């Protein structure tokens, strides 16, 4: 396998040095801050004690989860974000994470200099009540915007105890699966096959070939996966287990099937798959029989020229239309809000990203939009991170598209994905209107009505379907062969 991929040079017109300086006049709301942190990254102040307080930074899979997990509190919802901290662009960020002692924080509250999660000052009564609560704590974290001095309180999710536990086979659990926000992500098999071609056909933004087998176990043992999923459910309240894999020479879904059945039948959780698609749609039917609740399709770029340029393996060996057809089939099969199309914002023209969002929501799927991150070691490591203003346009449009197509957002319990700006996060960007209020009220009602359903879905299920995927023709042939063999055997007795 080549040690590195091909050099990908950024467009001359999109360099950091040519960007106009932008500084917000007012404090950002939680979703706006989330977007800007994805775009600019975060510097870590020496006052921070992340080795004690935070989850370790895990450079696994494509590298998109290689940041610091933060929670931005807010009035609508708390927003989870995996903030870039190690990449070159993050070292130039205007944002700095600091940790204040109890005394420093009390002083800030009493002096009236601490804003709320929205960046607004509190009234005297609220300040007094908050200072009483602060006195029970030992110190907290803030994101400081050094352009204007805005200070945003944030929480640092601690590392779960099970991360350092061993499975019964002696495997460290964090090398089997990791939390990305509140869900469990597991890369189930060997490094993506695109990396093994010469020249390499890997996606140019991706670092999977550099991470799998180095920072995590390359091939996941089935029993290890079950034990880690059970620990994550029992100790971290995980409701969703997401299986991911690179290109496995058209056996991606077959390799995932045993894991889906095991987690669904022995642990009990919502199960999602993000795998290279196929036009053999019967495989999706079989996986649904095994308990798959969700399918995600990473086609990254809606513009076919960008798809071909930056995803050479997917272009040559899969094809963009295969992603579209598989998404269309599974979205219709599972129903509205059960599937997603994943795209990257900040590389192709914004207009193409908006078209992607309209296409995905028009199918009844929800758009999973990643803000491009120039990850360490990837071919696009030196590509500039996106502009905040452009991303704000993208995610305002995302909310409107979800509202227009009545896509369920934030209905499933306890699924906060820190790698993306979730559709539910964009409620902070929605215009104040009757249409918006009605949509949000519908989603709130759906959350309440769906609780018994999801409680049932997350119980272990007895599954009779075989984890060995066989097609309609193969199944008939296998049945006839087995039936003929059994008849002959009985006659010999």
Which homologous superfamily does the CATH classification assign to the domain defined by 164-457? Answer: Aldolase class I (3.20.20.70)
Predicted structure pTM score: 0.85
| Per-residue confidence (pLDDT) for residue 109, from 0 to 100 | 59
Indicate the range of 103-107, 195-199, 345-349, 483-487 predicted with least confidence: 483-487
Tell me which DSSP letter residue 58 carries.
Answer: -
Omega of the bond leading into 199 within 30 degrees of 0 (cis)? yes
Query: Which tens digit of pLDDT belongs to each residue from 195-242?
Result: 888 888 888 888 876 655 555 666 799 999 999 999 999 999 999 999
Indicate the range of 28-42, 129-143, 212-226, 435-449 predicted with least confidence: 129-143
Percent of the chain with pLDDT over 70: 80
Cα–Cα distance measured from residue 366 to residue 406, given in angstroms and rounded to the nearest whole number: 10
- H or E segment and range at residue 271: strand 270-274
Looking at every residue in the chain, the average pLDDT score rounds to 84
Residue ranges per structural domain of the chain: 25-59+75-154, 164-457
| Cross-sheet strand order for the sheet of 95-101 | 43-44, 95-101, 139-145, 150-154
- What is the arithmetic mean of pLDDT over 165-181? 95
Percent of the chain with pLDDT over 90: 68
Going through 112-163 in order, the beta strands assigned E by DSSP cover 139-145, 150-154
- What is the arithmetic mean of pLDDT over 480-490? 40
Strand-pair category, 139-145 with 95-101:
antiparallel
Strand-pair category, 43-44 with 139-145:
unpaired
Asked if the model's pLDDT at residue 13 lies above 90, the reply is no
Asked if the model's pLDDT at residue 169 lies above 80, the reply is yes
């Amino acid at each position: 396998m080549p040690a590195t991929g091909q050099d990908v040079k950024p467009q001359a017109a999109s360099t950091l040095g040519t960007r106009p300086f932008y500084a917000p006049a007012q404090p950002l709301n939680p979703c706006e801050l989330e977007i800007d942190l994805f775009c600019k990254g975060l510097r870590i102040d020496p006052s921070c004690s992340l080795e004690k307080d935070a989850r370790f930074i895990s450079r696994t899979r494509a590298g998109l989860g290689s940041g610091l997990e933060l929670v931005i509190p807010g009035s609508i919802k708390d927003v989870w974000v995996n903030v870039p901290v190690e990449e070159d662009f993050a070292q130039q960020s205007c944002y700095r994470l600091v940790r204040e002692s109890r005394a420093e924080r009390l002083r800030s509250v009493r002096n009236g200099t601490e804003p709320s999660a929205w960046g607004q000052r509190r009234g005297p009564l609220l300040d007094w009540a908050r200072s009483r609560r602060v006195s029970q704590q030992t110190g907290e974290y803030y994101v400081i915007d050094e352009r204007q001095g805005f200070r945003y309180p944030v929480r640092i999710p601690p590392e779960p105890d099970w991360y350092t536990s061993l499975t019964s086979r002696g495997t460290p659990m964090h090398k089997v699966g990791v939390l990305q926000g509140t869900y469990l992500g597991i890369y189930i098999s060997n490094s993506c096959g695109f990396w093994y071609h010469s020249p390499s056909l890997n996606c140019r933004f991706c670092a999977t070939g550099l991470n799998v087998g180095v920072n995590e176990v390359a091939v996941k043992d089935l029993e290890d996966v079950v034990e880690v999923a059970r620990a994550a459910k029992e100790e971290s309240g995980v409701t969703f287990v997401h299986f991911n894999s690179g290109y496995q020479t058209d056996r991606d879904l077959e390799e995932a099937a045993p894991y889906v059945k095991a987690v669904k039948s022995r642990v009990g959780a919502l199960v999602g798959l993000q795998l290279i698609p196929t036009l053999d749609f019967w495989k999706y039917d079989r996986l649904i029989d095994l308990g798959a609740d969700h399918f995600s399709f990473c086609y990254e770029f809606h513009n076919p020229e960008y798809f071909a340029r930056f995803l050479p393996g997917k272009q040559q060996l899969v094809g963009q239309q295969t992603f579209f057809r598989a998404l269309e089939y599974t979205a219709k099969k599972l129903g509205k809000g059960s599937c997603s199309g994943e795209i990257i914002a900040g590389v192709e023209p914004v207009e193409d990203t908006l078209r992607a969002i309209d296409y995905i929501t028009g199918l009844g799927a929800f758009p999973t939009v990643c803000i491009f991150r120039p990850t360490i070691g990837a071919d696009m490591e030196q590509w500039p991170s996106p502009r905040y203003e452009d991303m704000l346009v993208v995610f305002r449009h995302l909310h409107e598209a979800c509202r227009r197509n009545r896509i369920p957002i934030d209905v499933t319990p306890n699924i906060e994905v820190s790698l993306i700006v979730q559709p539910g996060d964009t409620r902070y960007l929605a215009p104040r209107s009757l249409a918006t209020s009605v949509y949000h009220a519908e989603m709130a009602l759906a959350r309440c009505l769906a609780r018994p359903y999801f409680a049932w879905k997350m119980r272990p299920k007895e599954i009779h379907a075989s984890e060995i995927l066989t097609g309609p023709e193969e199944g008939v042939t296998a049945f006839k062969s087995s039936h003929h063999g059994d008849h002959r055997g009985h006659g010999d007795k």
